[in-house]
C-alpha cells in the first residue's frame, strides 16, 4: 500500500513531527489464479501535514493497493501523530509514529504509536489463504525525552525512539523487508529497475520502510528512514517516502526555526506479479 504522511510540529514547540508508517505488504506464492480479467490498483502515498496557524494535524494515511483476485487489500500506512490533541499516530498497514505532550511535573510518560495491520488473507470467493497475516508493525511510542516523537513502523519492525537504540535523538523509521523465508524479492521477481523498491544494497531490494522523526535542533540529531523507501529527517520540510516502495514520509523540522515547515508525503505503493 501507499505510505503514510509525516506530521508537522506543534505551535512554537521544539518537538518535530512524527514519521509516517509504511504501506502494508502482502506476499503470497503458489497461487492458482483462474484466467480472466483482474483489476490492479496502486495506492498513492498519504499527504504530509501542512502547517497552518490554526491547525496541527496528523499526516494522512496512504491509500490501499489491491489485486482483485483477493478481497484483502494492502492497507495504506498510518499518518504520523501530532502534538495537538492527536498524539498517537494513525493505524495503518504499518502504524504512524507518535508525539508526546509535556507530562504533569515532567514525569515520564509514553504515547503508543499507531497499530500495524493484521488480518486473514481472503480470496474473492471467501476462501481464507492465510490466517492472521501481519502486513506491518506499529509506529514507535514517544517518551518525554529527545526527540519527543517516534518513527513510523515498517513491514519488518516497529518504529523507533531513543530508548530502542540508546542513541540520543534517535527516531528512526522501522525497516521494511527484502524477502520472506527463503524467498529473496530481488532475485525472485528479477528486479533490476532501481525505481522499484529502494535501498538496493548488498544484492537486495527493500520495500515498506517507515518514515523518520523530523529534524530536531542540531546537526547531530538527524534520524533515518527505514530500509524500503522510508524518508530521512531533513532540516526543512519532511522528505517524501520513495515512490513504488510504500515508504513513509518523515516528520517536519521543529517549530523553533523559521520558516515553518510541513510533513513529508508517503511514497506510492506497488503491485508485482510473477507467473510461470
d(CA 80, CA 58): 5
Nearest partner of 24 among 87, 117, 86, 107, judged by Cα: 117
pLDDT of residue 205: 95
Distances (CA, A) of 196 to 92, 188, 207: 22, 14, 9
pLDDT of residue 105: 47
Span between the terminal Cα atoms of the chain, in Å: 25
pLDDT of residue 58: 82
Give the burial string for 205-237 (b: 16+ CB within 10 Å, else e).
bbbbbbbbbbbbbeeebbbbbbbbbbbbbbeeb
pLDDT of residue 88: 85
The pTM of this model reads 0.93
Give average pLDDT by consecutive 10-residue segment, the chain, 276 residues: 90 81 96 94 94 70 97 97 77 93 60 94 96 97 83 96 67 95 93 85 92 77 91 92 97 75 94 90
Distances (CA, A) of 207 to 128, 215, 256: 25, 24, 34
The three three-digit cell numbers of residue 124, written as one number? 474473492
Q: Which residues lie closer than 8 Å to 57 by C-beta, 6 or more apart? A: 7, 8, 49, 82, 84, 86
pLDDT of residue 131: 98
d(CA 220, CA 94): 27
d(CA 199, CA 210): 13
CA angle 18, 47, 261 (to 5 degrees): 55
Amino acid at each position: 500500500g501507499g505510505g503514510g504522511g509525516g506530521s508537522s510540529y506543534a505551535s512554537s514547540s521544539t518537538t518535530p513531527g512524527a514519521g509516517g508508517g509504511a504501506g502494508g505488504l502482502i506476499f503470497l506464492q503458489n497461487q492458482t489464479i483462474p484466467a480472466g480479467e483482474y483489476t490492479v490498483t496502486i495506492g498513492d502515498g498519504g499527504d504530509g501535514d501542512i502547517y497552518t496557524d490554526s491547525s496541527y494535524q496528523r499526516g494522512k494515511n496512504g491509500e490501499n493497493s489491491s489485486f482483485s483476485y483477493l478481497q484483502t487489500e494492502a492497507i495504506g500506512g498510518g499518518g504520523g501523530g501530532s502534538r495537538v490533541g492527536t498524539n498517537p499516530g494513525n493505524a495503518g498497514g504499518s502504524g504512524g509514529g507518535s508525539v508526546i505532550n509535556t507530562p504533569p511535573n515532567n514525569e515520564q510518560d509514553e504515547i503508543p504509536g499507531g497499530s500495524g495491520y493484521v488480518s486473514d488473507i481472503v480470496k474473492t470467493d471467501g476462501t481464507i489463504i492465510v490466517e492472521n497475516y501481519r502486513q506491518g508493525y506499529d509506529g514507535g511510542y514517544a517518551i518525554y525525552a529527545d526527540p519527543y516523537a517516534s518513527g513510523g513502523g515498517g513491514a519488518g519492525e516497529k518504529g523507533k525512539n531513543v530508548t530502542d537504540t540508546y542513541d540520543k535523538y534517535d527516531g528512526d523509521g522501522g525497516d521494511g523487508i527484502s524477502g520472506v523465508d527463503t524467498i529473496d524479492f530481488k532475485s525472485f521477481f528479477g528486479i533490476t529497475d532501481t525505481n522499484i523498491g529502494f535501498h538496493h544494497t548488498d544484492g537486495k531490494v527493500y520495500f515498506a520502510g517507515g518514515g523518520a522523526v523530523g529534524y530536531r535542533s542540531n546537526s547531530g540529531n538527524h534520524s533515518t528512514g527505514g530500509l524500503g523507501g522510508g524518508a530521512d529527517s531533513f532540516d526543512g520540510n519532511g522528505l517524501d517516502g520513495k515512490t513504488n516502495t510504500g515508504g513513509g514520509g518523515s516528520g517536519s523540522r521543529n517549530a523553533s526555526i523559521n520558516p515553518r515547515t510541513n510533513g513529508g508525503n508517503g511514497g506510492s505503493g506497488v503491485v508485482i506479479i510473477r507467473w510461470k
